[in-house]
Structure 1
Amino acid sequence: MNRTLLLILCDFLLLTLLALTRWETAEPERPVEQTAGPVEADEGAVTAADDVVELMQLSFEDQQAEQAAMEADMAAQLEARAVELAERERALQELEAARNALQAERATLSADLAETQRTAAELRQRAESAAGEAAASRARVEQLQRDLEAKENEAAQTAAQAAQLAEEKAAAEAQVQQLNVAVAVAEQEKTLLRETAQTFREQAEKEREERIKVQETTTQLAQGVGALAERSEAITQEIRENRPINANILFSDFLLNRVPAQFNAARINVFGNELTRNAVARTILVRDGEAIYAIMHVEDTPFNFEEPASQWARVFVTLAKDGVRAAAPALHFINRDPRIVAIPVEASQATALGVKIYDMTIVPFRFPEAVLISKGGEGYGEVPFKLESDLPGYVRMDNRLIRRLAGDYSPSRGDLVLSKTGELLGVMVTSDLCAMVDEISAAGTIRTGDTSGQNLEGLLERMEALAESRDR
């Protein structure tokens, strides 16, 4: 029989005996009187009480073993449970950290999304405003064209009337000639035809007065036709000035008229060796009154304001195009911003180079956008700009990150800035700031050739300090 089942049965029997025993009626054990003769106990006999005790002891030992096993199993389960709880706690902490990171990232993305939406709204508003202005401009141009057509029709009618009057004048002159002949005949026959001659003279006088009136009318009509022609030419010029030129046309025109300016400079370094520096700037010629200049950024020359100023021994500047070479006598750092360099060019040299001479814009803010040409023709694009209230003479170009991310043209330092009418607006002195060039006056000058007698180091230091003051 299975020991466990036997223990269960023994426990059940013991509990049954204990339950069925009437302890209240049980008599106390009386001492057994000793008999006369000793009674010898059977040493080998096993009583029922001994069996019960042995069974109870075995049951107790098995229960202790089972309890120890259960306690060991429970300890192992508790330890595994503790490890599992610790693992769950660590996983919960990692999840909490990940949740916090996701919340932070969600907040950042929400802020970025809000900023992007705001920027998109601004762009939409600007696009709508630009579309409205373009529609208004088109309407004004169409009205001007209609007015011009009406004036041309009126001029044609006036010309037709003048032609008709000329024909009438010729007819009148022919009639006058006939009348003169008749007068001559009347004079010969004055005796017989005196009254008829007098009548003819009166008619001739009237015709003469009418001819004078016709001549006066013809003169007035001719003056009106001349004034109308002048007015039509003025209207045509106004339409031309208010009509923007396509950026592709402006860039193509720049490529045809750009002039390479070649620089060669030399100085002695700290080791006593001669150091030469060459540079080429592809730029345009601009007109300031009667003077002509080639204009560029200082970084397109051998000089720049980001390295310590040096004393240069010689400097040569040559403009060359299609085999024609013109040596420049000097280069100027202009007053508006010394980061812009102007090279004077003689009128005969400009004619020999055979390129277009650009004018400086008179009305720079007629259009809200300008055409930028970078690095002598490597790229171009249309960029919006606005006035800079705390920096007179400068405009701020739209160089926001969203434009660069969208793949739009991004301005850079040294770009030439043209108005939409094809005139020079200025030069980019930083990546977003354009110095307008409306006149050229020198803040400092370097005479080309042997420059050992000029204090170029001091000049460059002053120009650098002046450029820094312009940005404040």
Structure 2
Amino acid sequence: MNRSLLLVICDFLLLSLLALARFDEPADQAPEAEQAIEQDAQANQDLIDVLKMSLDAEQENRADLSTELKETQEELEARAKALAEREAKLEESQQNAEQLAAEKARLEEQRATLALANEAAEAERARLAEQSEAARQKLAEAERDRIELAKSLAEVKETAATSTERLRAIQSELEAKAAAVEKLDEERQRLASEVKTAELEKQTLSTQLEVSRTEARTAAERLEVAQRDIEITRREKASMQQTTQTLAEGVGALAESTDQIREEVKRAQPLSLNTIFDRYQKNKVRITFDAKESGVFGSSTEQYSLDTVLVRDGASVYALIPASKTPFRKSGLLGVTGIIRFGSRAGRFDSVGSLSADPRILALRLSESFPANWGVTAFNLAKEPLKYPQAILVNDQGKYGEVGFKIVPAHPEYLDMDSSIFNELFGEFSPREGDLVFSQTGDLIGMMVNGQFAVIAPSANLSAKLSLGDSFSAALVKAYQQRVQANAQLLPPDLR
């Protein structure tokens, strides 16, 4: 119930009681008393009515208050829920702010790192641009070399066809000259017989002259005729001797040409695998590199050895060396010395070069007199490497075999070896980098650059030079390694 309403009712009751109360002695006023009682009852009834109305109003107020209280409670719960959600969001926002601060710090660190990386990338891009320009120039040089090699190949093929026609023509000429020699021999025998007959006649005439001195006049004419005949015979004999000498000179030249033809035919004849391998075994040389390398615990010395052969190309003599069996593929070299051995002889060399056709193959250039001074035979460089469809491979472990090959159209300086057939025929012996490739005539074609492809050894055209011994230069080794990497980028994956 409302407090103000309760106070009003209490005041009303109190005033009503005070108005009805009598403080004097009661008198004989029964009617007034009854009337007063009636009025009091009426007043009580009015009071009860007022109280009922107040109660009803209070109940309505209580219902309204209950509704308002319920709505207020719901509103408070909603506000509490909203406040809880706001506090959760505030806490989440605070956590997000902390995460954002950490993320910002991390991003700042990454930005600094990226700035340094960007500077390094710019420097690397500049370096790569220089390398790309150098590679482009080398590619242009390689393209020019390829065009020259293609021209040389065409000239070689044309020369081979011309040599075949020339051989046939020489054989025909040889047969014709042999027939002419036989005919001239018969003519010489006939003239010799006639000279002998003339000599006999001369002797007979001399005898008759001595016997018939007395018949000089009658025999003078016969003597003059005989003298003329003798003069003619002498002239014919001198002419025959000159013809015989000319014929002998022609036969000598023909014999010399025949020997040359026989030598060319002999060189063009295929040799057996055992013959080629026997020549390799008897003439192989030992190449040794002593390398001083830097390491984690200081410097160390390593030795690299391999067997190879000497190659002769005109006046040039050199030995092919696979770079994979040398120290020049490693970093941290402090010094390298080289020694070549054959039998009991040994000597130092002060430099090696790399083939311009493929820098993975090194070459040791020697003097023209080296093979003769050391008693070793140098293999000839194959002038027609594509003449036969098969080649002979020899490795430094004493294994050898025959394998077919074909030229690589996009890179004619390389040969694609049929290693699958090779493996099937010869078991564990499979081609690998550094194997020597010979033609069936025993001439050197080139060297394997990996397990499938071989490079054709051109004329001793060396590009880079690596100094050894006291003149060793780590900068030249690094430049050579960069050249190998740049050349690998220019080749297809299977040729690398």
TM-score bracket relative to the smaller structure: 0.5 to 0.7
Structure 2: distance between partners of 1:289 and 1:210: 50
Q: Do the aligned residues in 1 keep the contact of 2:402 with 2:422 (CA within 8 Å)? A: no
Are the equivalent residues in 2 in contact too, given 1:183–1:200 (CA < 8 A)?
A: no
The answer to whether the 8 Å contact 2:181/2:247 transfers is no
2: CA distance, partners of 1:188 / 1:313: 114
Q: Does 1:293 align with 2:318?
A: yes
Native 8 Å contact 2:446 2:454 kept in 1: yes
Q: Which residue of 1 aligns with 2:374?
A: 353
Name the amino acid aligned to 2:384.
V
Deviation of 1:412 after TM superposition, in Å, equals 1.4
Q: TM-score, normalised by structure 2?
A: 0.57
1:399 to 419, 422, 443: 419
Verify: 1:387 aligned to 2:407, yes or no. yes
The answer for the alignment partner of 1:421 in structure 2 is: 441
Question: Contact conserved, 2:401 with 2:426, CA < 8 A, in 1?
Answer: no
Which residues of 2 match residues 223-262 of structure 1 at below 5 A? 223-262=249-288
Match of 2:186 among 161, 178, 181: 161
Aligned residues: 323
Tell me the secondary structure at the aligned position of residue 361 of structure 1: coil
Aligned 8 A contact 2:405 2:416 in 1: yes
Secondary structure at the residue paired with 2:328?
coil
Letter in 2 for 1:287: R
Which of residues 348, 362, 374 is equivalent to 1:327? 348
1:373 to 2:398 alignment: no
Structure 1 length-normalised TM: 0.60
Do 1:399 and 1:410's aligned partners in 2 also have CA atoms closer than 8 Å?
Answer: yes
**2:369 equivalent to 1:343:** no
Alignment of 1:173-212 (within 5 A): 174-175=199-200, 178=203, 191=217, 193-212=219-238
Distance 1:164 1:326, change over 3 A: farther
| Contact 1:333/1:463, CA 8 A, preserved across alignment | no
Inter-CA distance 160–330: structure 2 relative to 1 (3 Å threshold): same
- Residues in 1 aligned to 2:250 and 2:208: alpha-carbon distance in whole angstroms: 38
Tell me the residue number matched to 1:274.
299
Q: Could you tell me which residue of structure 2 aligns to residue 284 of structure 1? A: 309
Aligned to 2:244: 218
CA pair 332-175 structure 1, distance change in 2 beyond 3 A: farther
Shift of 1:460: 2.9
SS of the counterpart of 1:366? coil
SS of 1:313's partner is: strand
| Corresponding residue number in structure 1 for 2:430 | 410
CA deviation after TM superposition for structure 1 residue 275, in Å: 2.1
> Is the 2:188–2:244 Cα contact (8 Å) retained in structure 1?
no
Label 1:177 to 1:430 Cα distance change in 2 as closer, same or farther (>3 A). Answer: farther
2:470 alignment partner, one of 427, 447, 450: 450
Computed over aligned residues only, the root mean square deviation of the Cα atoms, in angstroms, reads: 3.6
Paired residue secondary structure (1:412): coil
CA distance in 2, matches of 1:155, 1:251: 44
Secondary structure of 1:199's aligned partner: helix
SS in 1 for 2:419: coil
CA 1:335–1:158: 2 relative to 1, 3 Å: same
Tell me the percent identity: 26
In structure 2, the residue matched to 1:362 is 383
Q: Which amino acid aligns with 1:358?
A: F
Q: How much does 1:202 deviate?
A: 2.2
Match of 2:327 among 298, 302, 315: 302
- Residues 176, 204 of structure 1: 8 Å contact kept: no
Unaligned segments of structure 2, at least 5 residues: 1-167
- Contact residue 261 and residue 320 of structure 1 kept, 8 A: yes
Tell me, yes or no, if structure 1 residue 316 matches structure 2 residue 341.
no
Shift of 1:176: 8.5
Q: Shift of the alpha carbon at 1:446? A: 1.2
* 1:237 partner SS: helix
Displacement, 1:183? 11
- String of CA shifts for 1:391-424, please: whole Å, max 9, x gaps: 1211110012x65345455321110001111111
Match of 2:479 among 442, 459, 463: 459
Deviation at 1:150, TM superposition (A): 6.8
Distance in 1, Cα, partners of 2:269 & 2:309: 23
Asked if the contact 1:315–1:451 (Cα under 8 Å) also holds between the matched residues in 2, the reply is no
Q: Which has the higher helix share?
A: 2
- In structure 2, relative to structure 1, the CA distance for the partners of 1:300 and 1:174 (3 Å cut) is farther
Larger Rg: 2
Aligned positions of 1:18-33 closer than 5 A = none
> Using the alignment, how far apart are the partners of 2:276 and 2:391 within structure 1?
11
**What SS does the corresponding residue of 1:161 show, helix, strand or coil?**
helix
Question: The residue matched to 1:293 in structure 2 has which SS?
Answer: strand
Q: For residue 339 of structure 1, what is the amino acid of its counterpart?
A: R
The 8 Å contact of residues 328 and 344 in structure 1, kept in 2 or not, is answered as: no
What is the CA distance between 1:344 and its match in structure 2?
Answer: 1.9
Deviation of the 1:270 alpha carbon: 5.0
